Amino acid sequence: MARHLITSAIPYINGIKHLGNLVGSQLPADLFARYQRARGHEVLFLCATDEHGTPAELAAAKAGKPVAEYCAEMHGVQAEIAQGFRLSFDHFGRSSSPENHRLTQHFAGVLAERGLIREVSETQMYSPTDGRYLPDRYIEGTCPNCGFEDARGDQCDNCTKQLDPVDLIDPRSVISGATDLEMRETKHLYLRQSEMKDELEAWIDSKTDWPVLTTSIAKKWLNDGDGLQDRGITRDLDWGIPVRKGDADWPGMEGKVFYVWFDAPIEYIAASQEWVGAGKGTDWERWWRTDKGAGDVRYTQFMGKDNVPFHTLSFPATILGSGEPWKLVDYIKSFNYLNYEGGQFSTSRGRGVFMDQALEILPADYWRWWLLSHAPESSDAEFTWENFQASVNKDLADVLGNFASRVTKFCRSKFGETVPEGGSWGPREEALVAELGEKLQAYEAQMDAMEVRKSAATLRAIWVAGNEYLQEAAPWATFKEDPETAAMQIRLGLNLIRLYAVLSEPFIPDASAQLLEALAATDAAWPESVETALQALAPGHAFTVPEVTFRKIADAEREEWQARFSGKRD
């Protein structure tokens, strides 16, 4: 039995996320976690809300609530939506937790002792209108690299280039819109990433199995321009983790907090401590400390491409720089962007489907299947309502749902609601077993390799194979001349439904549970072989005909949703 530590990128607390955020980290991470559990492996799947920094402060101010109250409320909202999408986190933590406070301050203290943090006097944007320093996300302006007019002070969302507020053209305060900004001197701490460039590069070079997307982004940040730069890890903010060296004060850093991108990845570790504190687990160190048993853990991270630099450079610099025996990530699965109907998702314009809205329209499995089967792995992907409708109707309703309905209803009409006996496999059945055996082997290899779209395509091909068998065998015709052979064919069909439910659970867990319940299949173990799996439900085993597993989306519904989420104004 292997041990898998799985984390998905930690979403910001500021509001409900759209479908692109979901498919870029949490959903494929859940797919992998569910699959590894199904294979009998031990899994710890962690996520959390990212609650510090300017996004939280700005969102709380907009909502008219104290930031701590806002974060607590939104954590509950995001946790409920995650449950709605059946994201099987072992723990969904909070970066504002006491555990993360202590651990972040610990890392800062250790890094300082090892000479990897330096104090820098620098000038920073100050807004006389607002009466405060403006951290990078409190400043917007035009990107000097691509001309995007709403670039943030830390990064341009359009071209992903890392920025400093002083780089922006025509900078303005996000709080007031004031443009009378001036530079004033302040002190901050910097993580000396440049000192670790060679060590980080050697570590990245050792990951020969990483996706090209992950490695190329990491190498770009390592080698572009002047190479890897030191990174500021403190901010002039009220909300965040106070700057301390472990339990000690940090002279000159009074009133400052750690930068959100320093403390947020540390929450992965802290979340496991929260998991133990909540009584869900007993030993977090065996997952994270290589001197306490974490050496045999396989650690996989899932994230969108915009998060790759921090997970390949800044967070590893923190872990490696500490000199302590912490577990480093083994594999980073990164994703491109999901666009919406020829453009981008937009909260302000009401453009695109957000996670809460999606669940209001259709159950989670409909979305899970489309998003995973169209995951933006090798390039950006695009959500269109026509494609969504076609995929649901053809893949879920016509192929999987229709198969389950036809087999169970025919069996009920001719043999009753028990698995019929009689007949034995012939060449057609043996050929099906061989075909499914090959496809199952491919499916397992693709799931192990986290090839999400290929896995979905192979799973669909497994469903199709059963449909083709049913069409060729035609038990409704066979029954007239040879009831025993028809009984064998339908018995095989019932066992195919069970097999499909087991194999499909990582993608569509609710449908899987529904089919297994209808079949009264108490054993949902992953098949050791197709041959044995297709004989799991023995003659005489009682079942019920399931409710409609997947319904079709009508053209009128699709047109209504297309208009509703277009972002167009009357």
Quick check: is 237 in a domain?
no
Q: Check residues 161 and 85 and name the one with the higher pLDDT.
A: 85
Rounded CA separation 50/15 (Å): 11
Amino acid identity at 9: A
Residue 316 has pLDDT above 50, yes or no: yes
Residue range 82-107: mean pLDDT, rounded: 98
Range of 157's domain?
A: 116-195+205-232
Quick check: is 543 in a domain?
no
pLDDT band of 136, cuts 50, 70, 90: confident
Residue 550: per-residue pLDDT: 97
Residue 119 and residue 187 in contact, taking contact as beta carbons nearer than 8 Å: yes
How many domains is the chain built from?
3
pLDDT band of 568, cuts 50, 70, 90: low
- How confident is the model over 445-462, as pLDDT tens digits? 999 999 999 999 999 999
Rounded CA separation 66/362 (Å): 34
Query: Are 297 and 395 in a shared domain?
Result: no
Q: Write phi, then psi, for 152 (nearest 5 degrees).
A: -85, 170
Q: Taking the C-alpha atoms of 130, 136, 141 and 142 in order, what is their torsion angle to the nearest 10 degrees? A: 170
Quick check: is 565 in a domain?
no
Quick check: is 563 in a domain?
no
- Mean pLDDT, all residues of the chain: 95
Query: Are 402 and 509 in a shared domain?
Result: yes
Residue 155 and residue 163 in contact, taking contact as beta carbons nearer than 8 Å: yes
Q: Binding-site residues, please?
A: 143, 146, 156, 159, 347
> Of the candidates 343, 366, 382, which is a domain's last residue?
382
Q: Is 298 helix (H, G, I), strand (E, B) or coil?
A: strand
- How confident is the model over 496-507, as pLDDT tens digits? 999 999 999 999
**How is 21-35 classified by DSSP, letter by letter?**
HIIIIIHHHHHHHHH
Q: Binding-site residues for Zn(2+), please?
A: 143, 146, 156, 159
Rounded CA separation 350/347 (Å): 5
Residue 109: per-residue pLDDT: 97
Determine how β-strand 151-152 pairs with β-strand 297-304: unpaired
Rounded CA separation 165/163 (Å): 7
DSSP code of residue 217 = H
Q: Which residues lie across from 335 on neighbouring strands?
A: 304
DSSP code of residue 274 = H
Rounded CA separation 151/153 (Å): 7
Query: Are 49 and 137 in a shared domain?
Result: no
Residue 570: per-residue pLDDT: 34
Query: Are 400 and 472 in a shared domain?
Result: yes
Residue 138: per-residue pLDDT: 84
Residue 237: per-residue pLDDT: 87
Assigned token pair, 375: 């995951």
Residue 367 and residue 430 in contact, taking contact as beta carbons nearer than 8 Å: no
> Of the candidates 382, 407, 434, which is a domain's last residue?
382
Rounded CA separation 128/139 (Å): 14
Quick check: is 251 in a domain?
no
Beta strand segments in 72-148, E = 91-94, 117-127, 132-133, 139-142
User: Which residues are within 8 A (CB) of 143 and not within 5 positions of it... i.e. 6 or more apart?
Assistant: 149, 151, 156, 158, 159, 161, 163, 168, 169
pTM: predicted TM-score of the whole model, two decimal places: 0.93
Rounded CA separation 177/165 (Å): 15
> Of the candidates 348, 382, 416, which is a domain's last residue?
382
Query: Are 374 and 392 in a shared domain?
Result: no
Quick check: is 336 in a domain?
yes
Query: Are 370 and 470 in a shared domain?
Result: no
Domain of 403, CATH number, reads: 1.10.730.10
pLDDT band of 92, cuts 50, 70, 90: very high
- How confident is the model over 473-498, as pLDDT tens digits? 999 999 999 999 999 999 999 999 99
Q: Which residues lie across from 124 on neighbouring strands?
A: 184
Query: Are 338 and 435 in a shared domain?
Result: no
Rounded CA separation 436/242 (Å): 57
Rounded CA separation 493/503 (Å): 15
Angle, helices 402-415 vs 483-504, to 10°: value is: 140
Cα three-residue angle 128-131-134, rounded to 5 degrees: 85
Q: Check residues 344 and 449 and name the one with the higher pLDDT.
A: 449
Domain of 129, CATH number, reads: 2.170.220.10
Q: Write phi, then psi, for 11 (nearest 5 degrees).
A: -75, 145
The tally of CA atoms less than 13 A away on the side-chain side of residue 444 is: 14
Query: Are 504 and 392 in a shared domain?
Result: yes
Sign of the torsion angle spanned by Cα atoms 245, 248, 252, 254 = positive
Residue 119 has pLDDT above 80, yes or no: yes
DSSP code of residue 311 = I
Amino acid identity at 59: A
Amino acid identity at 215: T
Query: Are 402 and 524 in a shared domain?
Result: yes
Query: Are 527 and 391 in a shared domain?
Result: yes
Domain of 47, CATH number, reads: 3.40.50.620
Cα 563 to Cα 187, 334, 341, 480, 566: the distances in Å are 51, 32, 11, 51, 5
Q: Write phi, then psi, for 206 (nearest 5 degrees).
A: -75, -15
Amino acid identity at 303: M
Residue % of the chain over a pLDDT of 70 = 99
Quick check: is 242 in a domain?
no
pLDDT band of 225, cuts 50, 70, 90: low
Query: Are 88 and 121 in a shared domain?
Result: no
Q: Binding-site residues for ATP, please?
A: 347
Amino acid identity at 141: G
pLDDT band of 526, cuts 50, 70, 90: very high
Residue 569: per-residue pLDDT: 42
Rounded CA separation 188/233 (Å): 7
Query: Are 215 and 172 in a shared domain?
Result: yes
Residue range 129-149: mean pLDDT, rounded: 89
Quick check: is 209 in a domain?
yes
Assigned token pair, 255: 């009133």
